[in-house]
Amino acid sequence: MWLSSLFGTITSWRSFRLGSIILCGLILTNCGDVTIRQLGTENLQNLQQIAVQDASGREGQLYGRELRKLLHIGGKGVENYNLISSISVSASSTLSVQGASSTLKKMTMTARFDLSDLTSGERLIADSITADATLGTVTSLYGQDKSETHARERLAILLAQRVVRRLQLYFLNQGQ
């Protein structure tokens, strides 16, 4: 009797392992046709040729630093484009849930940017990107101030990343 239960346990363990190996193999073969490529060299060169004008304030400093870090991968090229940006923060508003007030606030930050060609002076793209954050769950006034400062800094970095993605899309569409 004990021999049959031991045999059943070993068999179920082996079938479980076999099933797991087959499942992993199927998953890996399904992902075989996905190719992840780097950004094209022409697109990368175009991004390296963008001169970034500084925006004002602490948020502008973080925004500009993140832009330069993402645009000038592999070094800065000869400047052929000029990027002028401005950042604005909307007034925070208190959120409420069905009549009950709370200490949560919603902050919206907008980055407006213009990319122009330095040789012709032509405006290539003018756009704005918006990001939101909810803050203020801390009850102390010091904590609320720190939460707002941290949210502003995170939103500035997030907006810079989104602006770079938008510029990448612009140069990709120009190459086609």
Q: pTM (2 decimals)?
A: 0.71
Q: Which of 116, 138, 112 is nearest to 125 (CA)?
A: 116
Q: How many CB atoms lie within 10 A of CB 107?
A: 20
> What size, in residues, is the chain?
176
CA distances from 50 to 18, 43, 45, 81, 118 (A): 55, 11, 9, 5, 10
Residues of the chain where predicted confidence (pLDDT) is lower than 70? 1-10, 25-26, 28-39, 91-103, 136, 175-176
pLDDT of 102? 62
For residues 71 and 50, the answer to whether their CB atoms sit within 8 Å is yes
